[in-house]
Amino acid sequence: MDPITVSATISRPREEVFEYLADISNHPEFTDHYLVDWHLTRENTYGQGAGARFRIKAPLHRFSWGDMTFADVQPPYRIVEHGRSGKYNRVRMLGTYTLSPGPSGSTVVEYTFETEPVMPSDRLMEMLAGRSWTRRQVAKSLRRLRTILEENRGRGRRATIAGRN
């Protein structure tokens, strides 16, 4: 899938937004409308190497498990996550959060997401429902992120290690 880019302006300092995003256990709070059943892949949930596995609630998506790991973390500017999903984890995923200063102390969060399907069947699945559905879900997650950081409400459930609080 060609890259999808969605952005939102959050009325919080860039460092605060970055600290929240750099902890992968926070991501289910704003993505749980389409990424569910989160399981952390290691104890340290912050920074480079932090990762999680989750189920994608996409239409016509038979092989719904995916994972993401923070591959490059550059405070307070950028977080790059690499992952895989689909049958036999053969579809590569790449997500990039870019944070830039906005007007009057706010932060512009730009998220770019792309996939690299291997098989013709994977490409077909993306053509049927992938791009438009993904754009809507990512846009909603950034709106939820804004609500969580600005108003401290609308939080979903955080990911934990082995189901503990």
Domains and CATH numbers, the chain: 4-151 (3.30.530.20)
Per-residue pLDDT, averaged over 101-115, amounts to 94
Long-range contacts for 86-95 (Cβ within 8 Å, ≥24 apart)? 86/117, 86/122, 86/125, 87/62, 87/63, 87/119, 87/122, 88/63, 89/65, 90/117, 90/118, 90/119, 90/122, 91/115, 91/116, 91/117, 91/118, 91/122, 92/116, 93/66, 93/68, 95/68
pLDDT band at 155 (very low <50, low <70, confident <90, very high): confident
Instruction: Say what the pLDDT of residue 5 is.
Output: 96
Quote the CA–CA distance of 26 and 80 in Å, as a whole number.
16
Contact of 50 with 24, CB cutoff 8 Å: yes
| Span 45-83, pLDDT tens digits | 999 999 999 999 987 777 789 999 999 999 999 999 999
How is residue 77 annotated by DSSP? T
Q: How many residues does the chain have?
A: 165
